Amino acid sequence: QNVANQIAAGEVVQRPASIVKELLENSIDAGAMSITLKVLDGGQTLIQVIDDGIGMDAEDAVKSFLRHATSKIRTADDLYNLHTFGFRGEALASISSVSEVEMRTRRAGDMVGVQVNINGGSVPQVTEVSTAKGTNIVIKNIFFNTPARRKFLKSVQQENKHIMYEFERVALVNPDVEFQLIIDNRAPLKYAPSNLHQRIVMLTNKTLGNKLLPIEANSPIVRISGYIAEPSASKKKLGEQYFFVNGRFMRNPYLAKAVEQGFGKLLPQETYPSFFIYIEVEPSRVDVNIHPTKSEVKFEEEAAIFQIISSAIRQTLGKHNILPAIDF
């Protein structure tokens, strides 16, 4: 069983940032409205996620570390959960097989909480504990028992960069959730609950500021929403490019071309546009057979979606005439 978990871990846990992603998504799944992420040494020494979500009772807390024990489609929403599709019920089992885990959790209605400790896939140790409502999970010493894997970890700086990416992606689809990020002993970065526009502004460090223009399109096959940045705001050669498909970050170089085409000549030479585009499609029309951790998907109606996106962008640009900044 543990060997199977370690093998699965090879897919789920490629680096500390993959753990961050899974833990943050679990907190979101648990309905958390406030999430704190702490990391030490690029996540190698410690990754901690504290949420105020629904928490677990003792039985579920132990089960959560068993492979597939929790794999189930709970709500229709789960069908949209493309990114973790192949990994349903595998994340915590995999993570706990290659690290030292301590989890404390309590449901709102319970008097006491439960603490579960697992070291490298050992039998879970369970104790009662008094703890805040929600879940507080600490992952220590990643790959301590798989030295070959540990060697592949990059510098603290590199790993932190990947962690930031994952953090931002989750924060960008959940603007109403409060986030706090604490890297090493730096001052905490706080993101208050807000709307999407403000969340983008906060996360992009005001570099894009209020030069964001909303885009929107509806068709029987797809719903598009989000923001594009005024071309003049995209001074950097490489823009901030984000596609989210049914609430998950996805790469899509093909659709990025659709955005460029939408901008057409408005885009200065050698400049790439910045955009935050949210795509909602029926899950059955998306091919998730592409490896999930690569964050790539293929759409059935790719060409149609391409056209819808580029025309939505042209429409927004037209509506805002020479692109004045928008006042929110």
Of 44, 70, 204, 241, the residue at the interface with ligand ADP (CB under 6 A) is: 70
Q: Which stretch binds ligand ADP (CB under 6 A): 85-93, 110-118, 185-193, 261-269?
A: 85-93
Residue of 27, 160, 174, 271 that binds ligand ADP (CB under 6 A): 27
Does 26 participate in binding ligand ADP (rule CB under 6 A)?
yes
Residues 55, 132: Cα–Cα separation, whole Å:
10
Helix 196-203 × helix 156-173 angle, to 10°: 170
Output the six-digit token pair for 148: 């070959």
Task: Write down the least CB distance from residue 23 to Mg ion, Å.
Answer: 8
Binding status of residue 70 toward Mg ion by CB under 5 A: no
Least Å from the CB of residue 146 to ligand ADP = 19
Q: Please name the amino acid found at residue 187.
A: A
Residue 308 touches which of Mg ion, ligand ADP, none (CB < 5 to 8 A by kind)? none
CA distances in angstroms from 13 to 10, 17, 101, 147, 264, listed in the order given:
6, 8, 14, 14, 40
Name which position in 19, 91, 208, 309 contacts Mg ion (CB under 5 A): 91
26 is an interface residue for Mg ion by CB under 5 A: yes
Cα separation values, 323 from 17, 263, 292, Å: 37, 11, 37
Cα separation, 90 vs 66, in Å, equals: 8
Question: Which CB atom, from 89 or from 209, has the smaller least distance to Mg ion?
Answer: 89
Quick count: other Cβ atoms within 10 Å of Cβ 78? Answer: 14
Q: Which of 15, 16, 46, 51 binds ligand ADP (CB under 6 A)?
A: 51
Please say which residue, 113 or 226, places its beta carbon nearer to ligand ADP: 113
Q: Which is nearer to Mg ion, 64 or 115 (CB)?
A: 64
The two tokens of residue 230 are 């005024």
- Cβ 293 to Mg ion shortest distance, Å: 13
> Interface residues for Mg ion in 299-318 (CB under 5 A)?
none
3-state secondary structure of 259: helix
Q: Which helix (H) or strand (E) holds 139?
A: strand 134-140
Name which position in 86, 89, 193, 214 contacts ligand ADP (CB under 6 A): 89
CA distance 74 to 64: 14
Determine, following the binding rule CB under 6 A, whether residue 252 of this chain makes contact with ligand ADP.
no
**Inter-residue contact 272 to 241 (CB < 8 Å):** yes
Considering beta carbons, is residue 26 or 160 the nearer one to Mg ion?
26
* # chain residues binding Mg ion, by CB under 5 A: 2
CA triple 12-147-93, angle to 5 deg: 30
53 touching ligand ADP, by CB under 6 A: yes
Tokens 């409205």 belong to residue: 33
Number of shown-chain residues binding ligand ADP (CB under 6 A): 21
Residue 22 binding ligand ADP, by CB under 6 A: yes
Pair of tokens at residue 3: 């060997």
> Does 283 contact ligand ADP by CB under 6 A?
no
- Within 13 Å and on the Cβ side, how many CA atoms surround 239? 27
- Candidates 23-31, 121-129, 196-204, 216-224 — which segment interacts with ligand ADP by CB under 6 A? 23-31
The site for ligand ADP (CB under 6 A) is made up of 22, 26-27, 29-30, 51, 53-56, 64, 70, 84, 87-93, 135
